[in-house]
Each structure stands twice: as structure tokens, then as C-alpha cells.
Amino acid sequence: MPTFKELGLRAEIVQALDELGFENPTPIQEKAIPQVLDSKKDLIALAQTGTGKTAAFSLPVLQQLDENSREIQSIVLCPTRELCLQIANDMQSFAKFMNLKTVAVYGGASIEGQIRDIKRGAQVIIGTPGRTVDLINRRVLRLQDVQFVVLDEADEMLTMGFKDDLDLILGETPETKQTLLFSATMPTGIKDITKRYMKDPAEVSSGARNEGAQNIEHHYYLVNARDKYECLKRLADVNPNVYGIVFCRTRRETQEIADKLMADGYNADSLHGDLSQAQRD
């Protein structure tokens, strides 16, 4: 297995990865990092959350940015505010020993602070499509010097109806840019985007297409609806150190289960779209 240094990454980045405790590259990093460092070709990467995809696109992009220029040289687009903040935080830690600034722009938060941060100068913007379009229309975001565009969770962005926003944003970036598209699945909509916006792209994947993550064991239990909550508690009780996420179909169900768990003495909380942005953060 190669080291990060052997993949071609600079000492400042390798040192930051050391501090984060990243010892070896993950399979998608091993494939994507040298590809993006050595080639100007567009890239399609099939990778799910948990495969290390954020570092796979961030590291080779950060390495190629000009620290002496405060122009926007790279834009990362992703579907949600939460992911946007996570990518911004990750990139900031990868660039800890470099002189690079990142700004996250996403809806549901004041636009003024984001405008101020952009005006101070940043090499990297991480944005959700809606807010990014807003800032382009206000002539705050200028993308004519962008060299790298990353579309993260591209399939999710399409599902959430961001196609027109993506069209507009990509239209603002220069022809000469390199586009990196990361997606867990390859539905027809994504194939259309790759055909429209990417030239002869290279392809890498972290495993078989449309498959669950390899390092996760899946279990399921068949129970009656009325027994589901008791079953959930039983699972928590036999795994006292469990740290988990319960996904529910509706906001109300999410709240009810969290409330019941808290009333029953479990350390739980809810996360859903009826909560304010401050509560969700």
C-alpha cells in the first residue's frame, strides 16, 4: 500500500494528515489523488460516504492551488448545509500548514457574513447550489478564475432538484477548468451531466457500482410495528457503548422516538427539518 507521500502529496499536507491520524490512503484516495495530481483530465469517481472521498478530491486540489493569490480557484458543490460545513472543516484541517482560505456558503444562514468572508479573499468556496447561485446573481461570487470544480454527491444534488442551479453555476466557470464528479450511484441524470460538462473523463471507483460499503456489516430484524421501539431499546441495552443513527420516514416519527428515548433515560436527540438551523447545527 503506498503512503500519502508516495502518491505525490507535499510535506505540508502529509504533516496535516499525520496529525489527523490518517496513516494510509483509502482505495478511492489511492486511485483519485495521483490521477488528479498528474492529469488535467476530468474525473468521475464512484464513491460513497465513508470511503474517504472528501480527502480524495480535497488533497490533490489543495496541493495545486496558488497560495499567493486570493482569487477563487476552486469550487466544491454539495447538496446540504451539513455536508458543506463538514467539507469546509475537513479542507481547513488538510490545509492547516498552507496559506489557504476556504469559505462555506449555504442557505438558512445570514448571507451578509458569507459575503464579507468572500470579499476578504478565499481560494476555495464550498457551496450548496441555491446559495451559490444567489451569490453569483449578486455579483459577489466570480468564478472566472476557477481551475477545479468538484461536484460532491452529484446524484443527491439531482434528486434534490438542483439541476438548473448546477447548469447556471457550471456556465460561469471557464472552459479550461478540471471537473471532478463524485457520486454514489450513476443514474441517467448524472450520465447526462457527465456528457454535457465533462470531456473524455477518467473513471475511478471505490468498489462495485451501487453496492453497500464493504467495511460495514448489515443486520436486520423482522418485528411487528408495535414492537419496533422495544426492539430498538433492546439493541441499545445490549450495546451500551452504541453510538448510532436511527433513520425514520417522517419528521414527527423522528421527534417521537427521540422524545421517548430521552424520557426512558437514553442519551438521544432528534435531527429533522422542523428544527431551526441553530438547533440542527
Site residues (vs ligand AMP, CB under 6 A):
22, 24-26, 29, 49-55
**11-20 and 81-94 are packed helices; what angle lies between their axes, rounded to 10 degrees?**
120
45 or 198, CB closer to ligand AMP?
A: 45
89 or 255, CB closer to ligand AMP?
A: 89
208 or 222, CB closer to ligand AMP?
A: 208
Cell of 14: 502529509
Cell of 106: 449555504
The CB-of-28 to ligand AMP minimum distance in angstroms stands at: 8
In degrees rounded to 5, what are phi and psi of residue 75? Answer: -130, 130
The CB-of-51 to ligand AMP minimum distance in angstroms stands at: 5
Beta strands in the chain (DSSP E): 43-46, 74-77, 102-105, 124-127, 148-151, 178-183, 202-205
The CB-of-169 to ligand AMP minimum distance in angstroms stands at: 22
24 or 239, CB closer to ligand AMP?
A: 24
Quick one: which of 95, 165, 163 has its CA closest to 124? 95
The C-alpha atoms of residue 120 and residue 102 are separated, in whole angstroms, by 11
55 or 75, CB closer to ligand AMP?
A: 55
The CB-of-198 to ligand AMP minimum distance in angstroms stands at: 22
The C-alpha atoms of residue 150 and residue 223 are separated, in whole angstroms, by 42
The CB-of-262 to ligand AMP minimum distance in angstroms stands at: 27
Q: What DSSP letter does each residue of 232-244 carry, written as one string?
A: HHHHHHHSTT---
The C-alpha atoms of residue 205 and residue 184 are separated, in whole angstroms, by 9
The CB-of-48 to ligand AMP minimum distance in angstroms stands at: 7
Quick one: which of 185, 192, 187, 186 has its CA closest to 170? 192
52 or 60, CB closer to ligand AMP?
A: 52
